[in-house]
Structure 1
């Protein structure tokens, strides 16, 4: 009887709830967008210097988006999906 009960309860239990996964995907999107903005913009000729590497999007915006994404990931992991709003 105990083994059957354990199997039955383990079948439908997930570590995270629907809210957790929603926030995890939002955080992943922030991180991906940050890295996409950070990438690219080189010169095909190694003798020509391209100033676009110092653009504000790469220096400020992209790392900020990545850090916000990591913060959202931490929030999603620590979020209790069973907690009800009052």
Structure 2
């Protein structure tokens, strides 16, 4: 580990704790999407929570499945906007 102290754990990096929400449209139900932990609807957008460390991988997966990312928000910002729209 060049440049990193042995006393600092890997999880103390600020990027490790960041989670983003992808708003995705155009995902279709298929054999691949049947393996997801969430159902896919044909209409509207779905929100997928993605850790910072997997953002690039998830973008490629969404594109491969035929989806389009319409927005990316930090989870805290997305949660706050959802709560204010409900109230």
TM-score > 0.5, shorter chain as reference? no
Q: Which has the higher contact order (CA 8 A, sep 6+)?
A: 1
Relative to its length, the structure with more strand (as a share) is 2
What TM-score, normalized to structure 1? 0.24
Relative to its length, the structure with more helix (as a share) is 1
| Structure having the higher Rg | 1
What TM-score, normalized to structure 2? 0.24
